Structure 1
Amino acid sequence: MKAVFRVDSSNFIGFGHLIRCLTLAKELRERGVECSFVCRDHPGNIAAKVIDSGFSVFLLERANEASALKGSDLEYDKWLGCSWQIDSDETNEILRVIQPDWLIVDHYSIDVKWEEALTKNYKKLMVIDDLANRDHSCDLVLDQNLFLDMKRRYDGRVNSQCLQLLGPKYALLQPEYRQLREKAKVRNSSIKNLIISFGGSDQSNLTELAFLAAHSFGREFSSINVVMPSASPFYNQVKKLIKPIKKATLYSDLPSLAPLMLEADIGIGAGGATNWERFCLGLPSLVITLAKNQKLVNNDLSKLRLIELIGDVETIKIEHVRAAIRAVLSRRDLAGWSKRCMRECSGDGAILVAGAILGITKK
């Protein structure tokens, strides 16, 4: 059995899409599926990480930005770096040779037009989506987010035969989260250890903002672990800031945040997939929304009392972060908060999704 993933990563797109596909690919490989990846050579991509994991990567040539779609209503349409027709043609050439049983797509620029242009060269299609803002012609759709209207989210977007895997139960977390979950403690009112992580390349330097806010509380925190990719344009600046502070440690390019999350009592970071990682390990978190697609889900998570939403990257100020930290330090309901998070995500998502793929294949 063969599966091909069409997914991209870059400084602008971030790395989360590729990382979750890589997690699923590893789980499928354990079950005997031969997986390969089709990625475009965008600036700052991490296709090398896929190769290091033992998978083949077909790297599409970096597109000329002048050929990208212009004047589109959705900025996501430009993430391909070219028109959908060019991308589908180039991907089709690869699929024609491989003839995969499954094509697995994780890309905000791809919709039913692209999918139907390739139908002759794959048997089944899985779409990993977070937006529910476009139509798909697929056999399986995965949306690992949590919304108040989750069950109706894809009404009219997919056909009635499509299997819908919805919610953090199916979140594609690295296996370390599932393995460490057994050691995760329910947090209490004793908040001493903090982790700060904004993933990707942190183009807005929220890492420094959050660190300065936390450090201003003096001895309230025994340790502050800061995670920032070395590729971030602000990495050296943050490194210089943190170096003389004994209780603070800067980490970069970690294979997983799971061990640091396990040690932490509270987290400060972005929304998106990191929410589910924190949930799995029962880590209460203060969240700043980084992208448009995170706004609705973060608002709903806040209403469900699963995160404390500080604000939006476009308007956030250090006093907002300080106020959120001050409020959480005085809370006495951390145990309940921690338990609510753990109920939403067990870390078994990759196992469940791989099982669903193989189940459909056998029908």
Structure 2
Amino acid sequence: MFVFCIESSHSRGMGHLYRSLTLAEELRRRGRDIHFLVNDHASTLNVLQSRGFESTIYDPSAPDGSWEAAFTEKVQQLEVWINDRLDTAFAHAEAVMSTGARLVTFDDRGDGAELADINIGALVFDNTAQLKGREVRTGIEYMILNPEIERYRRARTRLGSILVTLGGADTHGVTVRVARWLRNKPLKLTIVTGPAFQHREELDAILSEPSLAHIEHLDGVPSMAWEMSRHELAITGGGLTPFEAAASGLPSIVIANELFEIPVGRALEELGFSRFAGHHRSLDLGKLSVDLPIDVMSRTALSRTNLDGYSRIANLLESLVQ
């Protein structure tokens, strides 16, 4: 069995969940048994159930090393434990390894990462040499992106429509600030909010103005890959979303929702298919200018990204148990 241990919530965001789901679905397709360990968060549990995955709730505040054995005793043939929650503590890693399972972590700077069989740092762009693990893999070729995007890859040549999508939670309500800034722009605009978004009243107050009929608000979408295909520019957070946008040929303006997203935003700008507008607390609204070389950014995005990361990582995980 392959176990995914994640944290997903309004305050934490839901990026870890969706990244894990893409990898989990590939492993399930290969015949692997999958189980999720997750904190008690209704939206996350609903998503897991809708995707057909079994899950067990754990308490992230419990002392590391104190709860893992109780779970593993109930699981038959635990093969690989996959942590996607950042900063693995040594006591936790030690408890997992004591079961005989192989440990894989993502973007992990915690003390416990040194015990991991593999530490995959696709979203780490600063001080990568300091990442610990028996084996460390870095680079955007290990980015886990939605394979559905392959159906919608296309080059953009000019700006026609903007997509605003700042995560399943948008903890800090950055969507509201972006909507307020864009409301006077004569542009076609679609705002997508996710299942853990808690700033709906503020957003509705802005969008209720009669003059803002050109702004469409979608409370969740069945396919973000398809939604991205309808637009020529995206305004996103600094997680996986701008990379998924790039893989579809969609340039982006990136706002760091968290401090650890700042190096990601800078790296995205250096890659040539995004512009970084800064951390949300010191947001440079001038960077939200839509006067961008959309055609150049789109071609760059298509040439520098691919969708093989999830398969590449699944191969690594399976190699641990062969």
TM-score calculated relative to the size of structure 2: 0.90
The one-letter code matched in structure 1 to 2:167 is G
- Match of residue 171, structure 1, among 143, 156, 173: 143
Distance 1:178 1:122 in 2: 37
Amino acid at match of 1:168: I
Matching residue of 1:303: 270
1:229 aligns with 2:178: no
Aligned to 1:76: none
How far apart are residue 44 of structure 1 and its match? 5.2
- Tell me how far apart the structure 2 counterparts of residues 122 and 239 of structure 1 sit (CA, whole Å): 51
After superposition, give the CA deviation of every residue in 1:52-80 in whole Å (9 maximum; x if it has no partner): 211211112xx5xxxxxxxxxxxxxxxx3
What do the CA deviations read for 1:72-119 (whole angstroms, capped 9, x no partner)?
A: xxxxxxxx323223xxx3222121232311111111242333111222
Measured in 2, the distance between the counterparts of 1:294 and 1:353 equals 22
Q: Which runs of 5+ in 1 are unaligned?
A: 64-79
Relative to the length of structure 1, the TM-score reads 0.80
Aligned partners of 1:269 and 1:349: how far apart in 2?
21
Give distance in 2, aligned partners of 1:352 and 1:269. Answer: 26
2:156 to 187, 190, 209: 187
Distance 2:225 2:295 in 1: 19
Alpha-carbon separation, structure 1, partners of 2:298 and 2:9: 33
Which secondary structure state, in structure 1, belongs to the residue aligned with residue 114 of structure 2? Answer: coil
SS state at 1:46 partner: helix
Residue range with higher mean Cα deviation, 114-123 or 194-203 = 114-123
Aligned to 2:301: 341
Give the alignment's Cα RMSD to 1 decimal. 2.2
| Pair 178,132 (structure 1): closer, same or farther in 2 beyond 3 Å | farther
Range that drifts further, 12-21 or 26-35: 12-21
Alignment of 1:259-298 (within 5 A): 259-298=226-265
**Alignment equivalent of 1:91, drawn from 68, 73, 88:** 68
The secondary structure found in structure 2 opposite 1:118 is helix
Amino acid at match of 1:52: S
Structure 1 residue 55 corresponds to structure 2 residue 53: yes
Alignment of 1:307-322 (within 5 A): 307-316=274-283, 320-321=284-285
Structure 2 vs 1, CA of residues 104 and 293 (structure 1 numbering), >3 Å: closer, same or farther? same
Tell me: CA distance 1:120–1:96, structure 2 relative to 1, closer, same or farther (3 Å).
farther
Q: 1:158 maps to which residue? A: 133
Q: Distance in 2 between matches of 1:279 and 1:234?
A: 27
Partner of 2:168: 200
Letter in 1 for 2:180: L
Provide the secondary structure at the position in 2 that maps to 1:26. Answer: helix
Partner Cα separation in structure 2 for residue 208 and residue 309 of structure 1: 18
Aligned to 1:241: 206
- Structure 1: how far apart are the matches of 2:171 and 2:17? 19
2: CA distance, partners of 1:292 / 1:267: 21
Q: Aligned partners of 1:167 and 1:200: how far apart in 2?
A: 25
CA contact (8 A) 1:227 1:250 kept: yes
Aligned equivalents of 1:341, 1:279: Cα separation in 2: 5
Q: Matched residues in 2 for 1:297 and 1:278: separation?
A: 14
Residues in 2 aligned to 1:25 and 1:47: alpha-carbon distance in whole angstroms? 15
Partner of residue 68, structure 1: none
Check if 1:252 corresponds to 2:219. yes
Letter of the 1:265 partner, please give it.
Answer: E
Match of 1:74 in 2: none
Q: Which residue of 2 aligns with 1:213?
A: 181
Q: Deviations over 1:130-151 (max 9, x none)?
A: x53543312222222263765x
Report the Cα offset of residue 236 of structure 1. 3.3
Which AA in structure 1 matches 2:145? L
Cα distance in structure 1, aligned partners of 2:194 and 2:262? 24
Q: Which amino acid aligns with 1:248?
A: I
Residue 2 of structure 2: aligned partner: 3
Structure 1 residue 230, shift from structure 2 partner: 5.2
CA displacement at 1:338 relative to structure 2? 1.5
Identity %: 22
- In 2, distance between residues paired with 1:116 and 1:33? 24
1:158 alignment partner, SS class: coil
Is the counterpart of residue 35 in structure 1 residue 15 in structure 2? no
Post-superposition offset of 1:171: 1.7
Say whether the 8 Å CA contact 1:36–1:55 is kept in structure 2: yes
Matched residue of 2:3: which SS? Answer: strand
1:324 corresponds, among 287, 293, 303, to 287
1:226 & 1:158 partners in 2: Cα distance? 39
Please tell me the residue identity of whatever aligns with 1:335. D
Gaps of 5+ in 2: none
Name the SS of the counterpart of 1:267 in structure 2.
strand
Measured after TM superposition, the shift of residue 256 of structure 1 is 3.3
Confirm whether residue 136 of structure 1 aligns to residue 134 of structure 2.
Answer: no
Partner residue, 1:66:
none
